[in-house]
Each structure stands twice: as C-alpha cells, then as structure tokens.
Structure 1
Amino acid sequence: MLIPAENLKHPLLNEWSFWLFTNTKKVWDENLVELTSFNTVEDYWCLYHHMKLPSELSMGQDYAIFKKGITPMWEHERNKRGGRWQIMFNELKFKTLDNVWLDTVLLAIGENFLNSDLICGVVVNVRQKSKISIWTDRGNDSKAVMDIGRKLRKHLNVPNKLRYYLHTTSNSLYIM
C-alpha cells in the first residue's frame, strides 16, 4: 500500500526530547520536566507553533532540546566530559533571543555540523542576562569543538562573542 505524499514525514537523524526547567521547586533536578519527544521535521514545527517562545517564559525558566536519552544535566554521562558554546545576551532583547534560539535548534536537530555526533543539545536560559548554549560531548576534542563554534558564528549572525566552557570550569576555554 502506498502512502500519499502529503502524509509522509521527514525523519530527523536522531530523536530529540523537549525539556522545561520550571524553577518552582527548591531541589534543582525536580524542576526538570521532559515535555515530549519528536523525530521528524513536521513534529518539531508542530511543537514550535504550540510551545511558548523563550521570551514568553517566566524569568528563571529554561528550555532544553537534547538528543533522546541525554538529560540536560552536566552530570549525565554524555555531558560530564563535555562543554558548551555559550552566547550571552547582555540586555533582554527578546526578539533576538527567540530568533537565535530557533536558529540554534534548527542547526542542531538538522545535524548541520561536521561533528554532529558531538552535539548533545541546546539550552536557553531566560534571565536578566539570558543565554543560549549548545552542549557538546568530548570537550577536549578541540578541532571538533572549534568547527562547531565556527559554524555557529557563521550562521547565527550575532554580534556577541561566543565562549566555550567545559562543564567542569567557569573559565572559558575558547572565545570567538
């Protein structure tokens, strides 16, 4: 039986989970809620059009989109030896935050990096000084980490510097 073309979905290389950090409980990991998962382009866009934008979240809340099976916590096996490229937003410019979040997520779930296997997920932290991070595995793989940073710099078109931090330190390892 043939499936009509209009019913076909475009599969992603990986399945991804959409997380919300609620910031309502005293214990950090009790705030982390896996909302849903998706594995096709169409399912992502359906979620995107029904979820709040980062600018609509309450101060202190986060969104995270991670490969299925990877929890957006530094302690997770795939994250603990890794790090993150981070874009800081010094002023709360929500339109910019929302656009950079969307572009970063699309780069990640679309496997648009030479080293996409290193990508664990993407996080947006809504704060007075918000930030968007793309988390990687194997932070000591400098060539792969720098390739990811160059791709972000090229495609995101943000004036802010990108900084790479290992999850185990607060000092930036690379700056672009």
Structure 2
Amino acid sequence: HPLHSEWTLWYLETDRSKSWEEMLHEVASFKTVENFWSLINHIKTPSEIKMGSDYCLFKKGIRPMWEDEANVKGGRWVITLNKSNKNDLDNFWLDTMLVLIGESCDYSDELCGAVVNIRVKNNKISIWTANGNNEEAALEI
C-alpha cells in the first residue's frame, strides 16, 4: 500500500569527538505501509536506544536539521515526557510516526518530520513544521 510521500528514518548517536552531521545516520527510506512496518519491527524502540540518541523521521529529501531548506522557516511542537513510563514514550512515538506517514490532517503538507530525543532528565518528541508563521496550520497540528 503506497504512502503519499516517501519517508526516511535517521538515527543520531551522540559522540563528542564527531560533528553533528557525522553523528547523523540514515537508517532507511520507505514509501509503502508494508516497508514502514518491516522497518519498525526490526529496530529498537526509543526506550531501548542509547541515552543521548535520537530517532528522526522526515520526508525523503529533508534532513533533520534547521539548516535544511525545508526547515529554515519552520517551527516545532515539543512534548516532554516523564521518564517513568517507557511504554508511553514508545507509544507516543509510534502514534507520531503514524500521523506523519498517514498524512491525514488538513495541513499534512506543512509537516516535515518528527524527532524523539532520549535524554537523562526527560525524553522529548517534537513535530517539525515547514512554516512557523502559519498560525492556522500550527493550531490544527
């Protein structure tokens, strides 16, 4: 079952001896529902990855960095999650990915991607948008 857009999953593992771009690794791209589930079923969940690491899911061709042309004028919504419940983290991340790849909201074209950050104090999930000044789209998202 084809998706409207092709998506790329990235993994960032913190290593202070490397530049940010050197730490960012493209895991895989997919453009079907079946390939999405195949990927998700063969990688670690966010609660299982190394502290300081990130997963990033972005439309193919958009790199998960503010300097990317698609993100320069964008914004992001950030959800901070309590570290006590790992299931919440994994479920919220899965729900976020499904919303992105399903592109079923009115402003799906505004969505660039999402990031889950695994940190010592709190984990975060952020949704990145293409236009931070589009108030109507921001409220819908």
Name the TM-score, length of structure 2 as normaliser: 0.95
Give the distance between the partners of 1:121 and 1:92, measured in 2 at CA: 26
Match of 1:42, SS state, is helix
Matched, 1:131 2:124: yes
Alignment of 1:3-152 (within 5 A): 10-24=1-15, 25-128=17-120, 129-148=122-141
Give 1 or 2 for the bigger CA radius of gyration: 1
Cα offset, 1:60, TM superposition: 0.3
Match of 2:41, SS state, is helix
Q: Percent identity?
A: 53
Residues matched between the structures, number:
139
Give the distance between the partners of 1:19 and 1:92, measured in 2 at CA: 25
Q: Aligned AA for 1:22?
A: E
Of structures 1 and 2, the one scoring higher in RCO (CA 8 A, sep 6+) is 2
Moved over 3 A (4+): none
Kept in 2: contact 1:92–1:130 (CA 8 A):
no
- Map Cα deviations across residues 11-37 of structure 1 (whole Å, 9 max, x no partner): 000000010001124311110011110
Give unpaired runs (5+ residues) of structure 2.
Answer: none
